[in-house]
Amino acid sequence: MTKFSKLSEQLLKGIGGLSNITYITHCATRLRVSYRNKELLKMELLENLPNSSGIIALAGTVQIIIGTDVHDAYNEFLEYTGWTESENSEGIVTESEESQSYEKRDFQYYLLKFSNFIAPIFMPIIPALITGGMILAIKNLLVNYFGVSIDSGTAQWMLNIFDAAFKFLPIYIGYTMAQQLKMQPIMGAMLGAVLISPTFENGLIPDIFGLLVPQVSYRSTILPVILGVALMYFVDKGLKKVLPKTLSYFLKPLLTMIIVTPVVLILLAPAGNLLSGYVADFVLWVSNTLGIIALPLLSMIYPYMVMFGLDKGLHPIALELLDKLGYNPVTIVIGFISNICIGATTLALAFSMKDKAQKATAVSSGITALCGVTEPAFYGQLISHPKCMIGHAVGALCAGLFAGFFHLKTFVHGGCPGWLTLLFFVDQNGNINYVLIAIVAALIGMIVSFFATCIILRREGKLENNKKFSNEVIN
């Protein structure tokens, strides 16, 4: 019996059996199981799953909070239930097209659907982005502070790793998006490769069928390939209906590329690139004019953005900002501040606990949150102590104000921002000014969150003691 055997068994019973499952996936810390009929859920079983920090049931999906072992839990649940992954997939299981959710399709439902669609596109590439970003930061430090020549083999080797992670993003995104849309992933990757091929980048395709092709570089971009794969989905679907099955294997990919690539190169990719520029300009305007207000407010509500999956929607914005501006003044910064404050708040809660086992669990969750993974702390500890989130909000407000005043920004993209990802704040020249600002902001957030939470818990304890005393006097 393995670690997640009991969880798999109980989860399958709690979800209403195999026939009630429509979709299975996972993010960095949560196993997500979508269902057909809410009436079949057994909440008592789901709320008491072993090796879980809790669940969130929203709009047709049960999210089971596992932690960093989520991939093991995911694989074991797939094996136990008999589900099979789509070919070469990264945590995506085919959903029956006939499946229908019996839940009300309100705003929350579509919000979660959007999150479930975005997550499998971006989450598989996050490890590569973290690796590439950290390597670039290390390279910049070595060149600027340790005498390594920018032209040396060592520096160029590190730059090569960074380029592999970021400059080929259209290929990675094309692959994962095609996979998410249940097409052949390699065709999405091929479309991404068309956008960054040397033939196109060197200006050797001035026109197609006499129509002018805008000469734009699409390396490191996101939106152009997303629009292209979206068009490919509809073309692929249409060809599937009209082509004989005997010829489909050979003709469908060929005709798809012949139809899609001209439209993408002439129209969709330039439009996507233009739209990306507008998004970057808007975020830059918000940062410059409202940064001192926006950063603290967004840092305060960030845990709830994670709860509803809105943080997944920040990945494309962050990558576009890095591509257009060379830095990101918002998305990673608010996650960094919020995660640090969640960790400090949880440690303050642990400080107030008397039970040794509970204290040890809370301390472990708090330290994990300081390192960037907040689900065990937020769902396992703070959700059941909602007043503690006031302490988090106060700390995030103070740290966010400081970060906004000094225009804190990151220069690479990745996930789980915390004390272990300070290299995200090293700029292209290897300067550590923003690292120092990040450290001060984090310390402000930690100290304020910790003591604010301690004061709240002490006040709450005094009120409870007064109530007990009053009841004893009355009795």
Q: Which residues are catalytic?
A: 27
* Closest by Cα among 416, 414, 441, 438 to 425: 438
In this structure, what are the phi and psi dihedrals at residue 254, rounded to the nearest 5 degrees? -65, -50
Distance of CA 284 to the CA centre of its chain: 21
**Pick from 253, 135, 229: which is nearest to 174 by CA?**
229
Is the sign of the CA dihedral 306, 312, 317, 323 positive or negative? Answer: positive
Specify burial of residue 45 (Cβ count, 10 A radius: 0-12, 13-18, 19+). middle
109 close to 60: Cβ distance less than 8 angstroms:
yes
Residue showing tokens 């642990």: 350
Distances (CA, A) of 85 to 3, 63, 180: 21, 19, 12
Which three-class secondary structure state does DSSP give residue 330? coil
Report which of 53, 76, 56, 85 is spatially closest to residue 66, judged by C-alpha positions: 53
Helix (H) or strand (E) holding 77: helix 70-81
User: In this structure, what token pair is assigned to residue 191?
Assistant: 């479309």
Q: At what angle do helices 107-122 and 314-325 cross, to 10 degrees?
A: 50
